[in-house]
């Protein structure tokens, strides 16, 4: 961002005048501390280079074996796709679909959309269907879980090393590189710079962007600046909010746009995402997803998550027994990791979101900044609960020695996967701006 402009915080809805972003610096909300803007020098060029590298690594990661298991001179190898197929053939199709979406489909969509958006811009052309591709890329980001898969593979390798000799495959290293490269491509992608370049590429040769549009927020932002200070309720407690002014911020592309009086079914004029001053039925939807997650959390931890059949009989392992096995075998760092990711994190998400929803519903004014930070933390850690699902996927695919030993996924795997998805949906449904609405109403009443 090269010059001052109007900014609206996506977490607390505070309107504030921006300042030029320092080189490689970050602008944060004055009220809740959320990131508002970040300077990415040559961000799009870096993102394109990294996306090209991610495409190559993604192909290698899915064509070559991840890991192999050597038993009596025979080596059993598996690819990610083969692991998904084994789960499907074993009747665990919900887990197979979940693993496929989070480790193959969503990362592929993110890479393809990045390239489809950035390659035309590198040739100074407007991307085809840029709004649709941008929305698809934005939607794929939170569901691509390559980094969680890597940790799951490490835990699986430790468990497998007690069964037979583990042989690392090419895909294991390429997946590690893919995790870093894809994360770098996403971090380098500058949304403001991208839409400014799209607007410039779409103009006829020699034309210039209209003064004051900044190429990033356009006409909708200029309309927002024509706010009449006499609007009712605009300054509750001295804070000027987007909702009070009838201005919504697009959560995908950051565009500020005026909302009509009814404010139903409105989409962003730039990327086509749904616009809302506040998420519709946010609290009721959050409670619904949380209730379903709580119901499934019990069988996810009580029922067996994995069944092992061998010459010595059948053993059923729960999530907690897997943690105990890692601890007693000397792998206490991995045991601690699995305990945190598979037991602590789901419970923290459920309790944290319940606290946020209940305190917001009760209209609490206490500690709004701290509660907003709790929400951001819950969003950040939500995906890491998938670690145990990926561990099971690898073990099921590799330990298929017929009469010697066989591992299959237990019923708790489906319940646990559902808990992870439901809590992620619950976090997505909760609107942190509601936390600050109660503060503004009470401050307005005090005045």
CA distances from 145 to 219, 242, 273 (A): 37, 33, 23
Per-residue pLDDT tens digits for 188-225: 898 888 888 888 776 554 444 333 333 333 333 333 33
What's the CA gap between 316 and 413, in Å, rounded? 12
pLDDT, position 261: 62
Residue 307 sits at φ, ψ, to 5 deg, of -115, 125
Burial 309-319, CB ≥16 within 10 A → b, else e: beeeeeeebbb
- Residue range 322-327: mean pLDDT, rounded: 83
Contacts of 370 (CB under 8 A, 6+ apart): none
Tell which phi-psi region holds residue 101, choosing left (phi > 0), alpha (psi between -120 and 50) or beta.
alpha
Question: Which residues, listed in sequence order, are joined to residue 249 by a DSSP beta bridge?
Answer: 256
pLDDT, position 54: 95
Per-residue pLDDT tens digits for 63-102: 999 888 877 667 778 889 998 998 898 888 999 999 999 9
- Residue range 231-246: mean pLDDT, rounded: 61
Per-residue pLDDT tens digits for 353-398: 999 999 999 988 888 999 999 999 998 888 888 888 998 888 888 7
Residue 249 sits at φ, ψ, to 5 deg, of -105, 125
Per-residue pLDDT tens digits for 109-129: 999 999 999 999 988 888 988
Describe the chain by its helix, strand, coil percentages, rounded to 5.
Answer: 55, 15, 30
């Amino acid at each position: 961002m090269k010059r001052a402009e109007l900014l609206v915080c996506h977490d607390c809805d505070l309107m504030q005048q921006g300042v030029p972003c320092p080189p490689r610096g970050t602008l944060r909300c004055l009220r809740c501390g959320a990131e508002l803007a970040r300077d990415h020098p040559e961000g799009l060029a870096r993102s394109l280079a990294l996306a090209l590298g991610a495409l190559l690594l993604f192909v290698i990661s899915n064509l070559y074996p991840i890991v192999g298991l050597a038993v009596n001179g025979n080596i059993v190898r598996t690819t990610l796709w083969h692991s998904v197929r084994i789960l499907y053939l074993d009747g665990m199709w919900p887990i197979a679909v979940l693993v496929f979406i989070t480790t193959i489909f969503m990362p592929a969509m993110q890479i393809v959309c990045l390239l489809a958006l950035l390659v035309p811009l590198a040739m100074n052309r407007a991307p085809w269907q840029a709004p649709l591709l941008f929305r698809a890329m934005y939607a794929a980001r939170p569901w691509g879980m390559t980094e969680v898969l890597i940790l799951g593979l490490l835990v699986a390798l430790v468990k497998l090393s007690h069964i037979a000799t583990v042989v690392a495959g090419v895909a294991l290293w390429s997946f590690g590189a893919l995790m870093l490269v894809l994360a770098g491509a996403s971090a380098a992608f500058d949304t403001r710079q991208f839409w400014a370049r799209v607007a410039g590429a779409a103009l006829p040769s020699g034309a210039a962007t209209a003064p004051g549009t900044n190429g990033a927020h356009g006409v909708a932002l200029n309309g927002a600046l024509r706010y009449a200070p006499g609007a009712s309720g605009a300054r509750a407690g001295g804070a000027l909010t987007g909702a009070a002014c009838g201005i919504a911020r697009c959560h995908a592309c950051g565009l500020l746009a005026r909302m009509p009086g009814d404010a139903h079914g409105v989409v962003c004029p730039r990327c086509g995402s749904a616009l809302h001053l506040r998420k519709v039925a946010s609290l009721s939807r959050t409670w619904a997803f949380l209730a379903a997650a709580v119901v499934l959390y019990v069988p996810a931890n009580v029922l067996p998550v994995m069944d092992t059949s061998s010459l010595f009989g059948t053993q059923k392992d729960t999530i907690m027994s897997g943690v105990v096995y890692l601890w007693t075998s000397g792998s206490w760092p991995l045991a601690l990791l699995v305990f945190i990711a598979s037991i602590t994190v789901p419970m923290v998400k459920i309790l944290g979101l319940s606290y946020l929803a209940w305190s917001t519903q009760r209209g609490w004014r206490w500690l709004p900044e701290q509660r907003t930070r709790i929400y951001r933390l819950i969003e950040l850690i939500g995906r890491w609960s998938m670690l145990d699902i990926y561990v099971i996927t690898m073990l099921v695919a590799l330990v298929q020695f017929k009469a010697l030993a066989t591992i299959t996924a237990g019923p708790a795997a489906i319940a646990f996967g559902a808990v992870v998805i439901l809590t992620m949906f619950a976090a997505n449904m909760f609107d942190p701006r509601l936390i600050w609405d109660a503060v503004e109403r009470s401050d307005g009443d005090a005045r």
